[in-house]
């Protein structure tokens, strides 16, 4: 039997991952040689994007410079996922509930899945994982794969690492072998919460890093913000009683935090915020690209406030206040080794 692999999501990261897997499966006997990539249909000059991808082998909207292998087949029909053995979820987190509800009850028995989605689900004062939501709603196993993976670099075949978690030994090997190659190197760790939280919280830190950069700070200051952010991620693990410190040394931890701070979308938004440009204007400037940092900062702040712990997370709290409560960007300076100031 060969595993049939489908990717749910055809944005820039989904497309980059489709290319990686389509190249990998050609060298692997256990996986069907065709990769299905589902995407929400869009029209470019009235031509469906799926049709453009299937005929030109280029995702002209999201990854226009990359030629895709011909064994990727794009579709906008969720029914085509029905015979998949492995589902890879790579969609913006605000679309998760809608799509998961549409495919509920339609999947093949024994399907396994992995989420590359960054974000958490905050409701009723509690933090939940997207991978758990997928797993519980569809009643299938769902792991998580995160890492320092700028989409265009993965698409270009630059060497990258990823961290896989939330899988048992058997699933772990099936998923790891699908992704693993000389250009994409997968490590498996036993810490689903830690891996998935990293991917979420880094967006708040990278906003903070961007704010500093936008105010004209040097590297010493920006890196101090990143470091204090890393410490707050670590302390957030402790507050939740979930996540292992050692996971922060994995690709999903410090590496992903670093690339997000240096080149991510939230970093860029942070730079504008540091220049006192409003969130609304920034969203316009970014041409409708989804920004997850501010929403995450809000969710995390609400969670912390609910626990009366917001003062113990000065960076997370300040990023929220700068985004939503007219706090001035330079309030962020108080988050850098704050103890050493107050001790004086």
- Please give the structure tokens belonging to residue 65: 């410079």
Cα–Cα distance for residue pair 84/5, rounded to 1 Å:
6
Q: Which of 177, 302, 309, 327 binds its own copies (CB under 8 A)?
A: 177
292 is in an annotated binding site: yes
Which among 142, 141, 160 has a CA at the least distance from the CA of 150? 160
Each as own residue / partner, the long-range contacts of residues 93-97 (CB below 8 Å, 24 or more positions apart, any chain) are 93/117, 93/118, 93/119, 93/130, 93/292, 94/290, 95/40, 96/130, 96/133, 96/134, 97/133
- Which residue in the block uniquely carries the two structure tokens 């850098």? 336
Q: Contact 191/242 with Cβ under 8 angstroms?
A: no
Nearer Cβ to its own copies (17/96): 17
Decide: is 140 part of the binding site for its own copies (CB under 8 A): no
Classify residue 239 as exposed, middle or buried by CB count within 10 Å of its CB (0-12, 13-18, 19+): middle
Q: Which of 191, 250, 271, 310 binds its own copies (CB under 8 A)?
A: 250
Cα–Cα distance for residue pair 249/197, rounded to 1 Å:
14
What is the pattern of x (binds its own copies, CB under 8 A) and - over residues 49-88?
----------------------------------------
Number of neighbouring beta carbons within 10 Å of residue 40: 15
Residue 110 C-beta: closest distance to its own copies, Å: 25
Which among 199, 231, 184 has a CA at the least distance from the CA of 119? 199
Q: Which of 4, 19, 176, 202 binds its own copies (CB under 8 A)?
A: 176
Using the contact rule CB under 8 A, the part of the chain among 35-43, 72-80, 250-258, 300-308 near its own copies is 250-258
Run of H or E including 133: helix 130-138
202 is annotated as an active-site residue? yes
Decide: is 27 part of the binding site for its own copies (CB under 8 A): no
Residue 308 C-beta: closest distance to its own copies, Å: 25
How is residue 80 annotated by DSSP?
G
Nearer Cβ to its own copies (75/160): 160
Decide: is 245 part of the binding site for its own copies (CB under 8 A): yes
What is the pattern of x (binds its own copies, CB under 8 A) and - over residues 146-175?
--xxx--xx-x-xxxx--------------
Task: Tabulate helix, strand, coil % of the chain (nearest 5).
Answer: 55, 15, 30
DSSP-assigned beta bridge partners for residue 44: 47
Catalytic one of 132, 202, 213, 268: 202
Q: Which of 86, 103, 300, 336 binds its own copies (CB under 8 A)?
A: 336
Binding site for its own copies (CB under 8 A): 148-150, 153-154, 156, 158-161, 176-177, 180, 182, 185-187, 217-221, 223-224, 226-227, 230-231, 234, 245, 248-251, 253-255, 258-259, 262-263, 333, 336-337, 339-341, 343-344
Q: Residues comprising the binding site?
A: 9-14, 95, 118, 151, 265-266, 292
**Catalytic residue list:** 202
């Amino acid at each position: 039997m060969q595993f049939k692999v489908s990717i749910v999501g055809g944005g820039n990261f989904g497309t980059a991952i489709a290319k990686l897997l389509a190249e990998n499966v050609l060298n692997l006997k256990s996986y069907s040689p065709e990769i299905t990539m589902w995407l929400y249909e869009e029209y470019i000059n009235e031509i469906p994007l799926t049709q453009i991808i299937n005929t030109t082998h280029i995702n002209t909207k999201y990854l226009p410079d990359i030629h895709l292998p011909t064994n990727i087949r794009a579709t906008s029909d969720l029914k085509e996922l029905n015979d998949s053995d492995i589902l890879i979820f790579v969609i913006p987190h605000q679309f998760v509930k809608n799509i998961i509800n549409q495919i509920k009850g339609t999947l093949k028995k024994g399907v396994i899945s992995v989420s590359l989605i960054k974000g958490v689900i905050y409701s009723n004062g509690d933090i939940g994982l997207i991978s758990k939501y997928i797993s519980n709603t569809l009643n299938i196993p769902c792991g998580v794969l995160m890492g320092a993976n700028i989409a265009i670099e993965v698409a270009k075949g630059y060497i990258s690492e990823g961290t896989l978690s939330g899988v048992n030994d058997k699933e772990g090997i099936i998923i790891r072998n699908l992704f693993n190659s000389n250009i994409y190197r997968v490590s498996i760790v036993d810490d689903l919460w830690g891996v998935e939280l990293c991917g979420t919280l880094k967006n708040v830190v990278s906003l903070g890093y961007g704010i500093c950069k936008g105010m004209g700070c040097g590297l010493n200051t920006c890196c101090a913000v990143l470091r204090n952010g890393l410490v707050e991620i670590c302390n957030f693990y402790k507050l939740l009683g979930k996540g292992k410190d050692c996971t922060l040394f994995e690709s999903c931890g410090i590496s992903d935090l670093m690339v997000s701070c240096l080149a991510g979308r939230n970093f860029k938004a942070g730079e504008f915020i540091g220049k006192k440009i409003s969130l609304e204007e920034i969203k316009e400037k970014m041409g409708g690209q989804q920004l997850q940092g501010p929403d995450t900062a809000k969710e995390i702040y609400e969670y912390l406030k609910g626990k009366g712990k917001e003062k113990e997370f000065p960076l997370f709290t300040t990023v929220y206040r700068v985004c939503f409560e007219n706090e001035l960007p330079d309030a962020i300076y108080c988050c850098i080794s704050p103890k050493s100031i107050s001790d004086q």
